[in-house]
Amino acid sequence: MLGAGASLARLLRRAPPLCLQRRSRGGRLRVREALAAQAPGGDVRVQGWVRSVRSQKEVLFLDINDGTSLQNLQVVADPKLESRDLGFGSSVEVQGKLVKSHNRKQNVELQAEDINIVGPCDPMAFPFKLKARHAMDYTRQFPHLRCRTNTFSSLLRIRSKATAAIHSYFQDNGYVHIHTPVITSNDCEGAGELFQVETASKTSEPGKNPHFFNVPAFLTVSGQLHLEVVTGGFVRAFTFGPTFRAENSQSRRHLSEFYMVEAEISFTESLQDIMQEMENLFKASAAAILSRCQEDVELFHKYVAPGHKDKLDHMLKNKFVIMSYSEAIEVLKKAPEAFSFKPEWGCDLKKEHEKYLVKHCADIPVFIINYPYDLKPFYARENEDGPQRTVEAVDLLVPGVGELYGGSLREERLHVLQSRLDRLGLLDTYQWYLDLRQFGTVPHGGFGMGFERYLQCILGVDNIKDVIPFPRFTHCCLL
């Protein structure tokens, strides 16, 4: 990244060699670099897409953007450089000099000597209009063009920086990054929400195994079990990749393909340790995003979700609350609200219950711990409060989104795990998983955080489809 005082000469030294510069004399600059230049002068070449054209009698103004910055670069040109094809949305290459700007909003502007229209754009047919602020659900209809809007290009920059911030958090805290497989033969969560992987052309020969991999294979619902393999030899591991769920839902917080951040920690017997890591990851990554994407985040907090900045500050400055599942049910039972699903011990928490619990905790994220045994997958560690009553599992609920994280201590006791898998008829399937408990087992645990839900929570975006470049959900797989 460039410091505010980066000199133009230094920037130009990083420009591509002359042999790569077609039809041009000046060095190529990105919009972000041009805006950061404090000492203008010298020939430059800037490429991008036109965001506005203002033609006056003696001067032509263009704003161009290349995705590197929310702010556009103002181009000032002789009106004779104007052409019919130079319109909103067209792509251009501008050759000229960076000069000090008289406009208080920017330090520099580009005085054009030549404007080359790389690709014209018919403004009548282009779905986005000059100066219009399009609603998110309108923009969503154009996944192939929406990165040309301010809001979505800000989102993509934030998403990119947030990904880097999460990787940095783990790398700085002693975790090894693992590429867990996308294709797997297990259903980690046991919920049956699987997409099966098959070849497109059925070429299996009679008498031969019909499965490409000899066994049914699926797109992963979670990398947890593979991370558990790795934490059999590494104390801390993480993965951050695409995850797939065939849930029949078009809700504003469900996708069929989403990104999950998962961590696994060995030698821990305490859910407290796991929760501390969850909270640290949430807060450290948020701080990095807020400082590295200030302008882009501001756009969301100003125009998309006014008032969200205060809500986020409130989440970041308070210690997250911890409440047991049993307490949560008591709170819900005493609530004055008429829930559509009556809360009873043993029931799954519905959206309306999560919402109430977060409100009850003064809009501070709340960890719900010790869930009923039957509500959580086979790997969750059984508590010692009665046979098969509760497990050491945790969900983190956050304002506006509901469940953001799921995690647990894992059942590391061979005999306990064996009898649970036996009851589920999964002993053969998970023999390798039992081996992990047989050969140097350690108490361990971990968590998974939905990356898109995290972005929703930081930015205040209501619909999950607006925080992922290409949303996939029931009945929709555009592009």
Summarize as ranges the residues that interact with ligand 4AD (CB under 6 A).
188-189, 222, 224, 245, 247, 254-255, 258, 260, 262, 403-407, 446-450, 452-453
For Mg ion, the closer CB: 153 or 222: 222
390 CB neighbour count, 10 Å cutoff:
22
Give the E-state strand segments of 105-195 in sequence order: 108-119, 176-177, 183-184
- Candidate ranges 42-50, 51-59, 117-125, 403-411; the one touching Mg ion (CB under 5 A): 403-411
To the nearest 5 percent, what fractions of the chain are helix, strand and coil? 30, 25, 45
| Smallest separation, CB 229 to Mg ion (Å) | 21
Least distance CB 307 / ligand 4AD (angstroms): 23
What value, to the nearest 5°, has the Cα angle with vertex 13 and ends 11 and 18? 120
Question: What tokens appear for 425 in the block?
Answer: 């008829």
User: Closest separation between CB of residue 370 and ligand 4AD, Å?
Assistant: 16
Distance CA(302)–CA(152), nearest Å, equals 15
| Nearest distance in Å: CB 408, ligand 4AD | 6
Nearer to ligand 4AD, 211 or 252 (CB): 252
Near Mg ion by CB under 5 A, which window of 17-25, 221-229, 319-327, 402-410? Answer: 402-410
Report, in Å, the least distance between residue 228 CB and ligand 4AD.
9
Q: Which does 405 bind (CB under 5 to 8 A by kind): Mg ion, ligand 4AD, none?
A: ligand 4AD
> What whole-number distance in Å separates Cα of residue 169 and Cα of residue 174?
9
| Residue 378 interface partner, choices Mg ion, ligand 4AD, none, CB cut-off 5-8 Å depending on type | none
Q: How many residues does the chain have?
A: 479
Does residue 366 contact residue 331 with C-beta atoms inside 8 Å?
no
Residue 446 binds: one of Mg ion, ligand 4AD, none (C-beta under 5 to 8 A by kind)? ligand 4AD
Least Å distance between CB 155 and Mg ion?
Answer: 25
d(CA 122, CA 115): 18
Residues forming a β-bridge with 390: 372
The smaller minimum CB distance to Mg ion, of residues 115 and 380, is found at: 380
Q: Which residue lies nearer to Mg ion by CB, 232 or 407?
A: 407
Closest by CA position to 274, among listed 357, 416, 150, 393: 393
406 binds Mg ion (CB under 5 A): yes
CA contacts within 13 A on the Cβ side of 151: 24
Q: Give the interface with Mg ion as residue ranges (CB under 5 A).
A: 406
